[in-house]
């Protein structure tokens, strides 16, 4: 199952895009879409842990409402403080999980992934933190690793 999952995922994703693009669910069109999805070249894939993938997908979806909340805070709030911190990757060896992590972090307006560091084990993240009490250190924005 873990070995078959990448193939199923890419084919399913391509078929879904094909269906949206053509807006036609007739049997012939589905067959053409399936053939196209299978014929397009695929990247080398590693076995995917289903549980980690589902968790990453769920977190990415949750990031969308959070992004809107942060956008409102950014628009309404005062000038935020810039800072940088780093966060551990979920699993740096699986490209799809890294992609979902980068997507989740960069989607929210307060944080942007700058890149991977420490041999792909941590993300370097640039963050805005909303201005709080002035007593806090001026440039100590963002939680430290």
**Contact set with other proteins (CB under 8 A):** 17, 19-21, 23, 64, 67-68, 71, 74-75, 82, 99, 102-103, 106-107, 109-110, 112-115, 124, 126, 128
Enter the tokens of residue 41.
Answer: 């070249």
Nearer to other proteins, 48 or 98 (CB): 98
Nearer to other proteins, 1 or 43 (CB): 43
Nearer to other proteins, 49 or 83 (CB): 83
> Closest distance between other proteins and the C-beta of residue 107, in Å?
5
Closest CA to 121 of 81, 91, 97, 100: 91
C-alpha span between 20 and 17 (Å, rounded): 5
């Amino acid at each position: 199952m873990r070995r078959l999952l990448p193939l199923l995922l890419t084919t399913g994703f391509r078929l879904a895009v094909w269906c949206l693009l053509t807006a036609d669910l007739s049997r012939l069109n589905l067959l053409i879409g399936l053939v196209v999805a299978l014929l397009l070249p695929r990247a080398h894939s590693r076995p995917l842990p289903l549980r980690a993938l589902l968790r990453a997908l769920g977190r990415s979806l949750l990031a969308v409402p959070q992004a809107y909340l942060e956008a409102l805070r950014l628009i309404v709030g005062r000038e935020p403080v810039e800072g940088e911190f780093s966060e551990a990757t979920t699993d740096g060896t699986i490209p799809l999980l890294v992609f979902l992590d980068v997507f989740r972090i960069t989607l929210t307006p307060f944080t942007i992934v700058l890149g991977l560091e420490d041999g792909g084990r941590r993300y370097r993240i640039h963050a805005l933190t909303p201005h709080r009490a002035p007593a806090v250190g001026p440039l100590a924005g963002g939680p430290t690793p």
